[in-house]
Chains A and B, each alone.
Chain A
Amino acid sequence: MFNLKFLCSLACLLCLPLLAARAQETPVAVPDSAQQPVDIAKIAAAKSKKSVYEATYLSADIFDPIATAFTGKFEFSVAADVSLWHRLFPAIEIGVMGYNQQQEDYHYTTAGGFVKVGANYNFLNYKPNRKKDHAVFAGVRYGYSFTSYQLQDAHIANNYWNETGVYSNDKRTAHFGWVEFQIGVRVQVYKQFFMGAALEIRTFGHYYQKEPYYPSTIAGFGSDANTTNFGLLYHLTYQFPTKK
């Protein structure tokens, strides 16, 4: 769950948006004759004026839909967040998950949806006279999901009692909540288009009701409700309305 492969992929993923941003910021030499006189009064006014609301961002996760081709589990989520002082970003995220595992010794289906509510805090690049709306943030979310699940045609053997059989469960729905911490970056690559990546740490998982058995995969959270799960987000974002 947490090994060298994971660390390498995390490092590559978090660096990608930063590299894209640097490619956009190529410095251009301005000849002395073209420089405009500096209006000191305007600059001072801009510095002193801090608007609360700056922009709204709409994001779509592209990592999980691509991963579907390799893992067979479909996940997709969209998120919206609002920029306040370019420091605080209240956010909401909704998503869906579906997984149909047809194996030789079992057939397991699980599907559900989730919603996460919280906020991010931007540590860098928050001054009013900034040229780009990059952000390096940490955030917290509360997540809630409902997941339906069913195990069918499970081949299980008991060597001591010399028992074998094919077993199935009834379809059930579990309601689950958790706390999530995020750290990530979002960079403005071209006008209102952004790219971002984030690491999610999901913990403090809890079921809302007791069930005789629980899903092996929970929408939005992952597998094994009793442990801490890690996830990667890689998203494309559009900023609107523009603040300038």
Chain B
Amino acid sequence: MVAFLMVMMACNNNCYVPTRALLGVAFMDSAQLKPVTVKQLTIKGEGNDSILYNASSEQSVFLPLRQNQTVTRFEMSFLRHKEDTVPTAYTLEVKHQPYPQLISEECGCVMFHSIDTATCYNAQESLRVEIYSTNVINVEGDVQLKISL
């Protein structure tokens, strides 16, 4: 009976949780303090040709942080004001501390991050960035930064 139970226990090799830790960034209306949908949003990592978001409309985005460096920059562009027709470019710079974490034997290891600072700027202005949570872990939909527009 005991051997039967042990075999059943050993046979469960499935992973049921996310195995990526992504930085969640939400866009907020600075006047109404409510989530706002930004349009024509394009995001890619600095120095990386692969586009994460391509001219889409989003209230929040989820971005991969670098694991071998403590600073990650993203190039963003979106329609800054309702009347704009041309996207405005910004740089999102995040300073963070990566640390490896074992999720479980079935899921393996994932790189988590602890956020130190975050800024969003271009040559004309700096947007207000609130660090809502410092921990970037493997929870889907988790938001760490809120950018006020």
Contact = CB atoms under 8 A, between A and B. Distances in A.
Nearest to A5: B8
Contacts of A169: 99-100
A160 B50 contact: yes
Interface stretch (A30-38, A63-71, A89-97, A188-196): A63-71
A106 B67 contact: no
B114 A212 contact: yes
Given A151-B100, A155-B109, A216-B101, A160 B45 contact: yes
A106 B101 contact: no
A70 B67 CA distance: 35
Contacts of B48: 160-161
A105 interface: yes
Given A67-B9, A169-B100, A106 B66 contact: no
Contacts of B45: 160-161
A161 B111 contact: no
Given A151-B109, A154-B100, A216-B102, A66 B67 contact: no
Interface string A201-241: 00000000000110010000001100000000000000000
Nearest to A161: B66
A69 B52 CA distance: 46
Interface string B1-36: 110111111111000100000000000000000000
How big is the A interface, by class? 35 or more
A12 B5 contact: yes
A205 B68 CA distance: 33
A156 B6 contact: no
How big is the B interface, by class? 35 or more
Interface in B93-114: 97-105, 108-112, 114
A12 B64 contact: no
Interface string B55-81: 000000000101110000000000000
A156 B111 contact: yes
Contacts of A103: 105
A10 B68 CA distance: 45
Contacts of A151: 100-102, 109
A197 to B, nearest CB: 11
A contact patch SS: mixed
A5 B108 contact: no
Given A160-B64, A216-B101, A70 B109 contact: no
A215 to B, nearest CB: 9
B123 to A, nearest CB: 26
Given A70-B7, A71-B10, A161-B66, A108 B102 contact: yes
A164 to B, nearest CB: 9
A156 B100 contact: yes
Interface string A78-104: 000000000000000000000001010
Contacts of A216: 101-104
30 contacts: A9-B5, A9-B8, A12-B1, A13-B1, A63-B2, A66-B2, A67-B6, A70-B7, A71-B9, A71-B10, A103-B105, A105-B108, A105-B109, A106-B108, A108-B102, A151-B100, A154-B102, A154-B109, A155-B109, A160-B50, A160-B64, A161-B64, A165-B67, A167-B99, A167-B111, A169-B100, A212-B97, A212-B114, A213-B112, A223-B104
Interface of A: 1, 3, 5, 8-9, 12-13, 16, 63, 66-67, 69-71, 101, 103, 105-106, 108, 151, 154-156, 158, 160-161, 163, 165, 167-169, 212-213, 216, 223-224
What 4 A-B pairs are tightest by C-beta distance, nearest first? A70-B6, A167-B100, A154-B109, A154-B100
